[in-house]
Copies of this chain bind each other. A is one copy, B any other.
Amino acid sequence: MPFLCLPLVFKIQTSAGGPLLWFFHLSLTLPLSHCCRILFLSLLFSLLLFFFRERRTNSFEKFGGMAGDCGKWVVMVTAQTPMNMSVIKYWGKRDETLILPVNDSISITLDPDHLCTTTTVAVSPTFDRDRMWLNGKEISLSGGRYQNCLREIRSRATDVEDDENGIKIAEKDWEKLHLHIASYNNFPTAAGLASSAAGFACLVFALAKLMNLKEDRSKLSTIARQGSGSACRSLHGGFVKWIMGKDEDGKDSLAVQLADEEHWDDLVIIIAVVSSRQKETSSSTGMRETVETSLLLKHRAKEVVPKRIPQMEEAIKNRDFASFAQLTCAESNQFHAVCLDTSPPIFYMNDTSRRIISIVENWNRYEGTPQVAYTFDAGPNAVLFARNRKTAILLLQRLLFYFPPDSFFGLNSYIVGDKSILKDAGIEGIKDVEGLPPPPEMKDSIPSQKYMGDVSYFICTRPGRGPVLLSDKTQALLNPQTGLPK
């Protein structure tokens, strides 16, 4: 019998019961006196009692699991969630904790192929606390925003049956189970592209799947909102409105889809990641200071935005690029205006941002009708919307004319995302960039000044889909056995 135990012992040696079985095995096989054997067995039962109590506090016993593998399982879900770029801006909260905004906002979801967050969430009775890793580095979950999201999701969790692995988790057990979360952005953090929107949306979406929440995406957006306001808009693809809501508890402050990404698929988006040496004000701090000190913000929130929201909805509905561009640019500028009206003033745009605005404004004026719209968030990066692919090609040529790549690094890492626009623009190498003629609208500035080094790189993308689950298990960021980052 002792020999029969061995394979079993090896199989489950990592579980809590492993050492106890070894002990039992030894007590039977070692050539000991009866007295010793009794002493040995007493010790064994004391230890068993101890482990039994330990398992009670860890709630291990409450869960069904595979026979012979009790409490060792890890259940995981991996999701991918897009970034979004607002065209009617969110700036200013009326409630700092619930993250309730002072006005509605509208955004476009960006193609997750180029800009997204991937998050794997895992639950296991072996986890002794909630833990999170962001881009491979463990971060604290003690902040109020994470805690609010986790609390809201746990309170909505339902029974989960994992038929494949034969695991059942009852609704009431979620309060006691711990989570591991690993999150990864497919774009450099140094880009200064706000990643918290996609991040919190992905966290909430993935956890909602893991914990079998019954809420739809708009309801989930009220949870994501409590992590980062603009995250609520990343729960949908295409064109999204965050309705500010009226309820004090924030239940009606949620994101709805205005149109999916197919609705206006002519649009091409080019993001100029602008080099910056300035330390920027975080958007949370910035908007709090604006609410406290700007005398223009209230007027914007009460009088200006409520008029622009239906105009923007109409422009999107009709794919009316001229109206869309006019509103988008005016919104971006007004957002930065209220930042400047803050005490002390907040500057997110720099001289390069202004040069890009000037290039776009000159071109639009020259053409007589808007070709490109620009918007800037809480940083110097420009997000440019071209009315169609043909315009995007002309835009990219202009951008490369004024902001040529460093010949040492070349084009490949300078234009990322959808590189096919570059090819269509007839640009295959540095030589082609050097051969670009000055745009016709710049007739009054000869020779045209160039600004090599002022832009780090460009991302070519388009409107994209909302969050999705990744069923391919190789894409999970956590090890399915240990629940730790791969």
Contacts from A to B (Cβ < 8 Å) = 277-278, 293, 295-296, 299-300, 303-304, 326, 329-330, 333-334, 336-338, 340-345, 347, 350-351, 354, 357, 361, 365, 449
Contact = CB atoms under 8 A, between A and B. Distances in A.
Contacts of A299: 296, 299, 303
Contacts of A300: 295-296
Contact of A333 (B278, B304, B326, B343): B343
14 contacts: A277-B449, A278-B354, A295-B304, A295-B334, A296-B299, A296-B304, A296-B337, A329-B343, A333-B342, A333-B343, A337-B338, A337-B341, A344-B361, A351-B351
Given A299-B296, A337-B338, A338-B337, A330 B343 contact: yes
Nearest to A326: B343
B334 A341 contact: yes
Contacts of A277: 449
A341 B303 CA distance: 14
Contacts of A326: 343
Given A277-B449, A303-B295, A449-B277, A340 B345 contact: no
Q: How many monomers of this protein are in the complex?
A: 2
A445 B184 CA distance: 30
Contacts of A278: 354
Contacts of A296: 296, 299-300, 304, 334, 337
A246 B185 CA distance: 59
Nearest to A343: B330
A326 B350 CA distance: 24
Contacts of A329: 343-345
A219 B396 CA distance: 57
A52 to B, nearest CB: 54
A297 to B, nearest CB: 10
A351 B351 CA distance: 6
A433 B334 CA distance: 40
A243 B334 CA distance: 29
A343 B293 CA distance: 24
A57 to B, nearest CB: 45
Nearest to A336: B340
Nearest to A365: B344
Nearest to A308: B295
Nearest to A364: B344
A328 to B, nearest CB: 11
